Structure 1
Amino acid sequence: MEITSFEQFELNRQLLNAIADLGYTEPTPIQQKTIPLSLGNHDVLGIAQTGTGKTAAYLLPLLMKIKYAQGSNPRALILAPTRELVMQINEAVSQLGKYTDLRHLALYGGLGPKTQIETLQKGVDLLVATPGRFMDLYRMGEIVTKDIRTMILDEADKMMDMGFMPQIRSILEVIPNKRQNLLFSATFGGRVERLSGEFLEAPIKIEVTPQASTAEMVSQVLYEVPNFRTKINLLDYLISKDAFQRVIIFARSKATAENIYKFLARKVVESEKIRVIHANKGQNTRINAMDAFKEGNIQVLVATDVAARGIDVAEVSHVINFDVPLIYEDYVHRIGRTGRANKMGEAITFMTIAEDYHVQKIEKIIRMTIPRQPLPELVEVTETPFDEQQDMLRQIDEQRRKEDPTFLGAFHEKKVKNTPAGKDRLKAKAKLGSSKKAASQAAGPRFGSSARKSGGTSGSAKRTGTRGGRR
């Protein structure tokens, strides 16, 4: 039977009213498949990318089953890998359960446990938690697990990437064996498959999109750049465009995120219109930045992957991968921050020659080639500093070793120029080196490192004229 309405799930009126308030009219594919199975007490393994409506897919049947406040001990547990995602799920519980008296609580680190303990002692029906904080409070004797009858793992692949498997196994040991389990993941690699074998009992697998697929509403583009400084120049150029109304910029490290933030706040974006979040930022700072971004009060949010799966904003116009993620599935989750709620979005990736290896791995996972685009003429291409050039060459050597364990390395070799490895390295060095011919091309070099010279109609001169007094 085709399901075209939430009424067909036979949910209670409280939930249907909340669904109507949220403006949901027709269930998404993951909801159509998951809700009946969950209501039927089946274990479910859901493979679904971000933005498909999977949170409501497991929350609606869960809220239907626990229905109303009862007792003092939690009866359901939802685990998520990051505090941002825990907060997001807890907010969804508030929205969908607004007409019920169900008591729910978000448990995560970064804050003292006092307030969370006080709420637990008053009685809760549903816990949404990170694994670490859950186990901390359990060991303190503040969580009684004997009444838990449903356990849900969201973003299981990220759980594995972040090393939560020991905590998850500990949790499985202290909650009742007789329970319903649901596991959701954007990808289904070997580790997630092994986890599902430990965690689920005769699960029904639901896969609404191909594994690690990218959102259909997201257009993707990739720029090949020679170095960090040129990435900054390209970012400067892009952010200045009117179309970039609400942007998330992902960086690989906290230091890079801070550098991007300082540059943009100084040169491009008004300081009150930009925020940065990463693991070193206090919890309240991160919450305030996320809220301001969701409300549209800031234009640019710079983040490390700590926030890749904790942002649910329908109006994100662009995602920029300043660095290519080294956990390849994170590419899917990063770009899934845009193109939500049936709105088009654009994902832009910057790639140096040392990151080309990682892009190839990502393209294999998503089963498509990310379209390349030449650098805009007005973007200044700077010369690659010697230390940065050497670092990239070292990375290329390490990548060769991963693919060929017999590869001895070319970085410190002096007599390898006639070997295949040496030739590959010389080609890479040539791309990284100064090339006046490449720098003078109108479309910009693929991996050139010479600065476009000023004067006449040069990139820097054009750019200064275009930007007026803003620089």
Structure 2
Amino acid sequence: MQTTQNKFEQFKLNRQLLNAVEEAGYTEPTPIQEQAIPLALAGQDILGIAQTGTGKTAAYTLPLLMRIKYAQGEHPRALILAPTRELAMQISEAITQLSKYTDIRTVVVFGGVGPKAQTDAIRKGVDIIVATPGRFMDLYFKEEIVVKHLNVMILDEADKMMDMGFMPQIRKLLEIIPTKRQNMLFSATFSEKVEKLSYEFLEFPTRIEVTPQATTAEMVSQSIYEVPNFRTKINLLTHLLRDEEAFNRVLVFTRSREVAGLVHQNLLERVVKEHELKVIHANKGQNTRTNSMEAFREGSVRVMVATDVVARGIDITEVSHVINFDVPLIYEDYVHRIGRTGRANHVGEAITFMTVADEYHIRKIENMIRMEIPRRELPEEVEVVATPHNERQDLLREIDNQKRKEDPTFLGAFHEKKKVFHKPSRPVGKGGQNRRNSSGRSKRR
């Protein structure tokens, strides 16, 4: 009888790791593990293009643990960088699980909480540090971390790190750590920024791409509702969430924490019980975010409203729906958002709400994922509210900006209004004054 243990024995891992792999319930290596583990064990630099949910954490963790083998000395020998606290914590948990039969010491460091507990753990001795770039550099400059023994460095979710502006910290880090080391870089997409970083960071890497770039999960059904405004979005979301049986574990993504708060408030008032609904974003404390995600993972929370802070790196199976209340402006984030559902061979559904100003971004996303996302008719039960004047002006202004981005010579409707307003020969009546106020012109200082 073929067992999980036998399938992973092909990598010649030691017995402690094989036992941990078997207990973790890994049935067979995923494609990224199949390709990356032998190369990493051989000491090669690796460039891995793989989405979350493909098993890439174990693909670099198992070879790393095999290389380190056991606790040694006081200072770290390996560093894993991640863009968010949530992903750093998830990686640390995976390492703890796979190293349970070894004495290897792992410490995770991230911002948003006081550094004392993290520095105390480092001072006791550490083999692997999992960190967000900012907190790692803070502790290094405070001389809490010694880097001269680092011989493995791994960047996970490199594309997100670029989007979040971590390049300066990473460049500083590359200046202070030993040049003789093994490097691994993993990214869901291979953007221009990531390509540039790979040239700086990797030495003759082997590239592994287990899925075509920016592909969306095959188990995810995608669709779009065209909605005119915020209030109609709320009405549609409320209507969908009334079906508790179908929408049993839902992630609702918004573009900003302000919108996340408004959505949370409206859902509480209209459709979702308080204990079934949580909201998380960058302003929430780390303990609140961790507890909320744990409750969502366990199923006691049915609806989670979130910004893109949780779009990557959180492994929660059986998410029934991802709802894009707002279309993401970083197009790769669309892939990561909808990748939260359809995991571990479960079918999932991704629904996106699109305003007229979002059509531009949706076209870009469709080009990136190489497919047209099906449109749906709004359900008859959903009340379509008239768009308030200020919101309509904001949408039109955004469309003008999009056209100007594509064609720098485009002047736009608002430009024309300003020209008319400034003509001294034409007095401005009441209607013109109203237009002036609503177009968002700045007040005199």
Instruction: Please report the TM-score for the alignment, with normalisation by the length of structure 2.
Output: 0.91
Which stretch of structure 1 is more off in the superposition, 291-300 or 150-159? 291-300
CA distance in 1, matches of 2:276, 2:56: 31
2:167 matched residue in structure 1: 165
1:284 matched residue in structure 2: 287
CA distance in 2, matches of 1:319, 1:392: 24
Deviation by residue 1:60-116 (Cα, 9 ceiling, x = unmatched): 111111111111100100000011110111111111111111100110001111111
SS of the residue aligned with 1:128? strand
1:340 offset after TM fit, Å? 0.7
Structure 2 gap segments, 5+ residues each = 420-445
2:428 matched residue in structure 1: none
CA distance in 1, matches of 2:418, 2:267: 45
**Matches of residues 31-70 of structure 1 in structure 2 within 5 Å?**
31-70=33-72
CA distance in 2, matches of 1:136, 1:7: 40
CA distance in 1, matches of 2:100, 2:226: 48
Aligned letter for 1:121? Answer: R
1:259 offset after TM fit, Å? 0.7
1:412 offset after TM fit, Å? 4.2
CA distance in 2, matches of 1:287, 1:30: 28
Deviation by residue 1:402-432 (Cα, 9 ceiling, x = unmatched): 000111112242599xxxxxxxxxxxxxxxx
Deviation by residue 1:295-314 (Cα, 9 ceiling, x = unmatched): 11110111001111132101
Superposition RMSD on alpha carbons, in Å? 1.3
1:233 matched residue in structure 2: 235
Aligned mate of 2:278, from 271, 275, 279: 275
CA distance in 1, matches of 2:94, 2:268: 33
Aligned letter for 2:249? Answer: R
Deviation by residue 1:5-35 (Cα, 9 ceiling, x = unmatched): 2111111111111111121111111110000
1:246 matched residue in structure 2: 249
2:199 matched residue in structure 1: 197
**Matches of residues 392-407 of structure 1 in structure 2 within 5 Å?**
392-407=395-410
SS of the residue aligned with 2:352? strand
Deviation by residue 1:383-406 (Cα, 9 ceiling, x = unmatched): 111111111000000000000011
Aligned letter for 1:44? Answer: I
1:314 matched residue in structure 2: 317
2:269 matched residue in structure 1: 266
SS of the residue aligned with 1:35? helix
Deviation by residue 1:299-331 (Cα, 9 ceiling, x = unmatched): 011100111113210111110000000000000
1:371 matched residue in structure 2: 374
**Matches of residues 275-354 of structure 1 in structure 2 within 5 Å?**
275-354=278-357
Aligned letter for 2:223? Answer: V
SS of the residue aligned with 2:414? coil
Is 2:275–2:301's contact at 8 Å kept on the other side of the alignment?
Answer: yes
CA distance in 1, matches of 2:15, 2:352: 45
Aligned letter for 1:27? Answer: P
1:93 matched residue in structure 2: 95
1:121 matched residue in structure 2: 123
Aligned mate of 2:9, from 7, 10, 20: 7
1:170 offset after TM fit, Å? 0.7
Aligned letter for 2:324? Answer: N
1:384 matched residue in structure 2: 387
CA distance in 1, matches of 2:39, 2:285: 40
Is 1:18 paired with 2:20?
yes
1:154 matched residue in structure 2: 156
CA distance in 2, matches of 1:149, 1:266: 54
Aligned letter for 2:212? Answer: P
CA distance in 2, matches of 1:323, 1:341: 26
Aligned mate of 1:214, from 213, 216, 221: 216
Is 1:359 paired with 2:362?
yes
**Matches of residues 452-471 of structure 1 in structure 2 within 5 Å?**
none
Deviation by residue 1:111-149 (Cα, 9 ceiling, x = unmatched): 111111111100000000000000000000010111111
Aligned letter for 2:224? Answer: L
Aligned letter for 2:290? Answer: I
Q: 1:375 to 1:96 in 2, by over 3 A?
A: same
Is 2:52–2:313's contact at 8 Å kept on the other side of the alignment?
Answer: no
CA distance in 2, matches of 1:236, 1:181: 47
SS of the residue aligned with 2:376? coil
2:431 matched residue in structure 1: none
Structure 1 gap segments, 5+ residues each = 417-471
SS of the residue aligned with 2:225? strand
Identity level (%)? 70
SS of the residue aligned with 1:395? helix
Aligned length: 414
Deviation by residue 1:273-292 (Cα, 9 ceiling, x = unmatched): 11100011111111111111
